[in-house]
Amino acid sequence: MTAPLLSIRDLRTWFYTEAGVARAVDGVSFDIGSGETLGIVGESGCGKSVTALSILRLIQPPGRIEQGSVIEFEGKDLVTLGDDEIRDIRGNRISMIFQEPMSALNPVFMVGDQVAEVARVHARVSRKDAWDRAVEMLALTGIPDAEARARQYPHQLSGGMRQRVLIAMALMMKPALVIADEPTTALDVTIQAQILDLLVDLQKKIGTAILMITHDLGVIAETASRVIVMYAGEVVEQAEVDELFAKPHHPYTEGLMHSMPHIGHDQERLNVIPGTVPAPTEWPAGCRFRERCPYSWDLCDREHPPLYQIGSGHVSRCHLAIEPGRRNHPHPPLVVKAGVAAA
Amino acid sequence: MLRYIAQRLAQAAVIVAIVAAITFALIHLAPGDPFSAVMDNPNVSETVRQTLRAQYGLDRPLPEQFVRYVSSLAHGELGWSFSHERPVREVLGRALPNTLLLMGVALVGSFTLGILIALIQVARRGSVTDQVLSGLSLFFFSMPDFWLAILALLTFTYWLPIFPVGGAVDPVMHEYLGLGGRLVDRLRHLALPALTLTVLASAAVARYQRAALLDVLPADYIRTARLKGLTEREILRRHALRNALLPIISLVGLSFPALLTGAFFVEKIFAWPGMGYAVVNAIGTRDYPLVVGGVIIGSIMVTLGSLLSDLLYALADPRLRSH
């Protein structure tokens, strides 16, 4: 394998709050290859969005990327890069798409100008050229009558249209990497599939890599080739998509799979993993999933599990790797019906 | 849009009418009248005063006087100024341009200065510069206008006499100056009253603008702007300021009355021959028509100012433009 496009080693992004130090991202490492789509999945508060923002150094105080963290991209360490150099990368080599297409666009500027601005910052082209490129890009994202749409304001567009505008903005400079943070969560279900198809389609045309951040395993299955599962600020499992869906190893991953609603199954209530993610200011000493894990035993209390090699390209942060037999011991259910857990 | 403007103008007319009626009542209820206050001369006998009062209809019951005043208004007449011995229209017509000049300079100056100060503060938020500027703006925000005017007068005309004491032009020399000299003379007379008003109003603008900018900065579209690779300065000036200016546009309308009343006192102190100077003096001499006339013009300015700022707001915010 050639050198990866992006290589993250021991990323720690901590927030110094009044309630204590929140270790939102706590020692995350992974690679993304050129043109690859890597999925990051996990529930709210697991640190996936903070990981994304850390890559572009968009963490605002009291948050801070800790010393020793390394984010290597095209031969540069983004963590120690100067302000001018990181700005050169933002929107140009790495761009990002957010969850909220309404609030991510400036309400007082025409959408065409907002897309064109990217070219004016990075390509040093004239106002007219930037506008033409913006219209071209908007058309490429499937916006009908792009020339006229470009002259509209965000409030005049539907949610799906706005997300297309943001995608046009993100792909304007043909970046090497696009970070998509829950790009479809705020959209109607019918639009969601369209937007995902569009992303995959444009990825093929431009050859960009995508870091797909989502809580939705369905989105992962549809777009990603490799997937990382995050829990409590850590990577808990990493595998090829097919491998992960076929043989999930970490109990948290297993729980996520069992929580997915299935069409055709008569389910009155959705399945949930009982309990909640512990507060990031007080991660437990041993395994961070221990409290919610039906298989846990005394070792999980004592020792923080390392990432065990499970198979080719498959790692899992679970002591079951050394005592696989315990999975078959009698244990309480991994997931319960929603509503029951609260009682 | 036209319907909206027509509605607002109708509202404005009602407001002006009410203000005129209240002012009319208040000034007539104040003790004394034009012929007791102005002519304190003991040589003018009480009979002469009575004759004068009867001549001007001031011996009539108040409601009757009011009706007569309103009917003269309906004919476009603001009445006769007793103290200036000229029609009120003429007195105010001469004073209004001076007030508009003073207020215009103060309005443009204070919003420019206030917005600049806020931008500097927000660009260095939390720094010593930010804190010092916040302290200063609070200081001037809390200071009464007449007090600052007197301080400025004392400082720059007495202790450090670099500006003329009062008036709009030099009473003697102005006539003999060339075009350039006249301009300089005007500017020198304008400097102190305009500066006083500008400093006071800009303190308010800076405080509002700083808060509005800080409100806007956490917005998602600011993060988007950062993501594009814009510098913090570009983000502040383009993306944040454009949104944070919207609430400030309303402030233009709101600051109009404050600036006008401020101008009244400041004009009085610097003997600036504007509406405020004329009206404040008219109150002392119980020049009823001039007081009411001045207040009518003032309230027209205020209502038009607020209409104008609302229209500006709608123009600046694309979300409101279509309505």
pLDDT for the residue numbered B39: 55
Residues B120 and B47 in one domain: no
Choose between B322 and A14: higher pLDDT.
A14
Nearest to A235 by CA among A72, A64, A78, A9: A9
Nearest to B58 by CA among B81, B76, B75, B34: B34
How far is the C-alpha of B202 from the C-alpha of B255, rounded, in Å? 10
Residues B108 and B246 in one domain: yes
Given CB atoms, is A167 within the 8 Å cutoff of chain B?
Answer: no
A-chain residue closest to B318, CA distance: A108
Residues B175 and B244 in one domain: yes
Beta carbons of A107 and B316 less than 8 Å apart: no
Residues B142 and B21 in one domain: no
B80: enclosing H helix or E strand: strand B80-81
Beta carbons of B220 and A98 less than 8 Å apart: yes
A195-243 confidence digits (pLDDT tens) = 888 888 888 888 899 999 998 888 898 889 999 999 999 999 999 999 9
Given CB atoms, is A118 within the 8 Å cutoff of chain B?
Answer: yes
Chain A hits for B318, CB-CB cut-off 8 Å, are 107-108, 153, 155
The alpha-carbon gap from B111 to the nearest alpha carbon of chain A, in Å, equals 21
**Test the A interface: residue of B127, B227, B313 with most A CBs within 10 Å:** B227
End position of a domain, from candidates B86, B114, B143? B86
B126-136 confidence digits (pLDDT tens) = 899 999 999 99
A-chain residue closest to B221, CA distance: A104
The alpha-carbon gap from A234 to the nearest alpha carbon of chain B, in Å, equals 25
Q: How far is CA A330 from CA A24, A248, A294, in A?
A: 34, 19, 9
DSSP 8-state symbol, B236 = I
Q: Which of B220, B223, B231 sits opposite A87 (nearest CB)?
A: B231
End position of a domain, from candidates B57, B86, B115? B86
Residues B166 and B143 in one domain: yes
Q: Which of A58, A118, A153 sits opposite B318 (nearest CB)?
A: A153
Beta carbons of B221 and A105 less than 8 Å apart: yes
pLDDT band at B306 (very low <50, low <70, confident <90, very high): confident
Q: What is the largest CA-CA distance in chain B?
A: 85
The one-letter code for the residue type at B278 is A
Residues B183 and B99 in one domain: yes
Count of structural domains, chain B: 2
Residues B289 and B207 in one domain: yes
Given CB atoms, is A184 within the 8 Å cutoff of chain B?
Answer: no
pLDDT band at B196 (very low <50, low <70, confident <90, very high): very high
Which residues form the domain of B271?
Answer: 90-320
Helix (H, G, I), strand (E, B) or coil at B178: coil
Given CB atoms, is A155 within the 8 Å cutoff of chain B?
Answer: yes
In this prediction, the residues of chain A whose per-residue pLDDT falls under 50 are: 341-343
Asked if residues B285 and B82 have their Cβ atoms less than 8 Å apart, the reply is yes
End position of a domain, from candidates B86, B113, B148? B86
Using the structure block, give the residue that is written with the tokens 């109150």: B283
pLDDT for the residue numbered A211: 94
B53: enclosing H helix or E strand: helix B46-55
Beta carbons of A107 and B224 less than 8 Å apart: no
Q: How far is CA B41 from CA A10, A183, B35, B38, B194, in A?
A: 95, 86, 10, 8, 37
B2-18: average pLDDT = 90
Residues B97 and B76 in one domain: no
Residues B158 and B296 in one domain: yes
The alpha-carbon gap from B316 to the nearest alpha carbon of chain A, in Å, equals 8
Instruction: Convert chain A into a string of H (helix), E (strand) and C (coil).
Output: CCCCCEEEEEEEEEEEECCEEEEEEEEEEEEECCCCEEEEECCCCCCHHHHHHHHCCCCCCCEEECCCCEEEECCEECCCCCHHHHHHHECCCEEEECCCCCCCCCCCCCHHHHHHHHHHHHCCCCHHHHHHHHHHHHHHCCCCCHHHHCCCCHHHCCHHHHHHHHHHHHHCCCCCEEEEECCCCCCCHHHHHHHHHHHHHHHHHHCCEEEEEECCHHHHHHHCCEEEEEECCEEEEEEEHHHHHHCCCCHHHHHHHHHCCCCCCCCCCCEECCCCCCCCCCCCCCCCCHHHCCCCCHHHHHCCCCCEEEECCEEECCHHHCCHHHHHCCCCCCCEECCCCCC
Residues B189 and B312 in one domain: yes
Chain B hits for A124, CB-CB cut-off 8 Å, are none
> Which of the residue ranges A62-66, B30-34, B115-119, B177-181 has the most confident prediction, judged by mean pLDDT?
B115-119
Q: How, if at all, do strands A37-41 and A209-214 pair?
A: parallel
The alpha-carbon gap from B132 to the nearest alpha carbon of chain A, in Å, equals 23
A313-336 confidence digits (pLDDT tens) = 899 999 998 888 888 887 888 888
Chain A hits for B227, CB-CB cut-off 8 Å, are 56, 58, 90-91, 95-96
Which residues neighbour B305 within 8 Å (Cβ) at sequence distance 6 or greater? B252, B253, B256, B257
Give the number of beta-carbon pairs within 8 Å between A and B.
Answer: 66
The mean pLDDT of chain B is 88
Residues B54 and B137 in one domain: no
Q: Which of B221, B223, B243 sits opposite A58 (nearest CB)?
A: B223
pLDDT for the residue numbered B312: 87
Q: Which of B225, B230, B317 sits opposite A108 (nearest CB)?
A: B317
Residues B274 and B240 in one domain: yes
pLDDT for the residue numbered B139: 94
Q: Which of A58, A103, A107 sits opposite B226 (nearest CB)?
A: A58
Q: Which of B224, B228, B239 sits opposite A121 (nearest CB)?
A: B228
The one-letter code for the residue type at B172 is V
> pLDDT over 90 for what percent of chain B?
46
B43-94 confidence digits (pLDDT tens) = 778 888 888 888 888 888 888 999 988 888 888 888 888 888 899 999 999 9
Residues of B with CB under 8 A from a CB of A: 219-221, 223-231, 239, 242-243, 246, 316-319
Beta carbons of A117 and B316 less than 8 Å apart: no
How far is the C-alpha of A187 from the C-alpha of A161, rounded, in Å? 10
**Test the A interface: residue of B228, B239, B313 with most A CBs within 10 Å:** B228
Beta carbons of B221 and A103 less than 8 Å apart: yes
A-chain residue closest to B316, CA distance: A108
Q: State the CATH number of the domain containing residue B238.
A: 1.10.3720.10
How far is the C-alpha of B273 from the C-alpha of B177, rounded, in Å? 20
Given CB atoms, is A113 within the 8 Å cutoff of chain B?
Answer: no
pLDDT band at B18 (very low <50, low <70, confident <90, very high): very high
This complex has an ipTM of 0.85
**Test the B interface: residue of A108, A113, A124, A152 with most B CBs within 10 Å:** A108
B234-252 confidence digits (pLDDT tens) = 999 999 999 999 989 888 8
